[in-house]
Structure 1
């Protein structure tokens, strides 16, 4: 994996690149225009940096920068002061930094919910934000989790190896969604509706597994049917056996081949990466 640089935009948003970023970020706007394609990577709960960087590395090789967005369990449970704030920051960054184009979405698990929150804001002011939708050339969804899976996915993310605590948190999440309907559940439902009636009509690549209890084959099939009815071109990869957001780890060559094939189909002009430029200089000297 190449040596990437990371620039913190907010506590939840960081910019990954194989170019050293010297630009200052003032109120979510970079003072030096970045004329490159950008991947908006909406990562899963409790994602470790080293794992996110492995996905980012795929795109860095193609000359993309990667904007990684994370959510904490607390931000998921309390969307008004949590996930919706992150969604608005992401939207503002994309709105202000227009030279980052084209855009690719790559969302994992709860990232589908977060993007739904972004689309709620886009739908509220189409005249202002349609240019963001227009810049999106493709979308990749890996183990996308719907509202019905929050009580299953959140406990596993927080306590991956402790079934007792998983069960306890699962019961709390079920209670939380009933008790805090107006400040939590209604927002989950609205986001899910926005995800199913996607404003983004760019081609989509969906990765799922038959054995994933969180981003289930059934819920993703409903998304696929909804999107295909709207004319969205869908590429579908369902692994027989791999864990939630674990398809790349278990099937690295197949996952990468499918992803690279999808990216190639989008015909995005590629920028040469810093590593490639250095290699070209070395070859020229030889």
Structure 2
């Protein structure tokens, strides 16, 4: 199977838990897309939010080189990864279940961008019923300082200081040239994730969890993105944790975070009733 080529984890709830929460309806399938450098043991803590609610969860984090190198230089490696992730739904025969995304930072949002594009254009996935997306600490655009902070944190302490500085300097120069100075030209070949989803967003509801204290993703980038989606008719809500660092809202406020995610999921599932079903399956064609 194509899905065997990527390193993912899938968890199925026991039948009793699903029945208790969803009472005979198909339980949601939650696809969690981790931040760059995210370890699965960390992502599994987020998936438990949904497993305890009787949801199927699929966890995946894109490799560092793909996020920081391939995307920065315009190589669309994540496009094939997006295809394989959606094929997992068919491999496990859950393609008729409601699909829900939980996305972390730009690393997860870069992959989400290609999933959205597939749902726009690929007939194979036209029957998938996507009901909503939680977006944690994303998306950001053109923030070289934030990208350097993210890369520095991802490299960790094991790399020697000289090598660390060389890698960070090369990354900064490359990204500045390709994604800032030359971007007015290069965007016609390869738009960044921020502009691609903003220009042609999906129709399902988005719920952004962010913080004004985030030093990797600027809160004004998130707020501008949300406003852009609202103008195009996409239902968008948000929660500002104010003081928590980048992708640390759950760690700092576990009860509040869990409540926000579960409440939004329940709201999206409620929208499936009646005429809401067809509406959620569509994507904008603007």
Per the shorter chain, which TM-score range?
A: 0.7 to 0.9
Residue in structure 2 matching 1:118, options 107, 115, 118 = 115
Distance 1:190 1:131 in 2: 27
Match of 2:153 in 1: 156
| Structure 2: gaps (5+ residues) | 16-25, 272-286
- The answer to whether the 8 Å contact 1:198/1:227 transfers is no
SS in 1 for 2:220: helix
Residue in structure 1 matching 2:103, options 102, 107, 125 = 107
Residue in structure 1 matching 2:130, options 112, 136, 161 = 136
Distance 2:178 2:140 in 1: 18
Distance change >3 Å, CA 219–CA 180, structure 1 → 2: closer
Distance 1:143 1:166 in 2: 25
Residue in structure 1 matching 2:70, options 68, 71, 78 = 78
Q: Deviations over 1:144-189 (max 9, x none)?
A: 143424344223222379895665433221233367789xx75763
Match of 2:169 in 1: 171
Q: CA deviation at 1:130?
A: 2.9
Distance change >3 Å, CA 119–CA 265, structure 1 → 2: closer
Indicate whether 1:92 and 2:122 are aligned.
no
- The answer to whether the 8 Å contact 1:15/1:67 transfers is yes
- The answer to whether the 8 Å contact 1:159/1:166 transfers is no
Distance 1:116 1:81 in 2: 11
| Structure 1: gaps (5+ residues) | 1-7, 21-34, 270-286
The aligned runs of 1:160-239 (5 Å cut-off) are 167-177=165-175, 189-239=191-241
- The answer to whether the 8 Å contact 1:210/1:216 transfers is yes
- The answer to whether the 8 Å contact 2:201/2:229 transfers is no
Q: Deviations over 1:83-117 (max 9, x none)?
A: 33322312333466453510001000021111112
- The answer to whether the 8 Å contact 2:44/2:59 transfers is no
SS in 1 for 2:66: helix
Q: CA deviation at 1:243?
A: 1.1
- The answer to whether the 8 Å contact 1:122/1:129 transfers is yes
Distance change >3 Å, CA 11–CA 223, structure 1 → 2: same
Q: Normalized against structure 2, the TM-score is what?
A: 0.73
The aligned runs of 1:221-260 (5 Å cut-off) are 221-260=223-262
Distance 1:163 1:210 in 2: 32
Q: Which moved more, 1:40-49 or 1:74-83?
A: 74-83
Distance change >3 Å, CA 188–CA 171, structure 1 → 2: farther
Distance 2:100 2:237 in 1: 15
Q: CA deviation at 1:143?
A: 0.4
Distance 1:57 1:189 in 2: 34
RMSD value over aligned CA atoms? 3.1
Q: Deviations over 1:59-78 (max 9, x none)?
A: 01111111111111112212
Match of 1:263 in 2: 265
Q: Which moved more, 1:90-99 or 1:232-241?
A: 90-99
Q: CA deviation at 1:141?
A: 0.1
Indicate whether 1:64 and 2:58 are aligned.
no
Match of 1:277 in 2: none
SS in 1 for 2:142: helix
Distance 2:109 2:164 in 1: 22
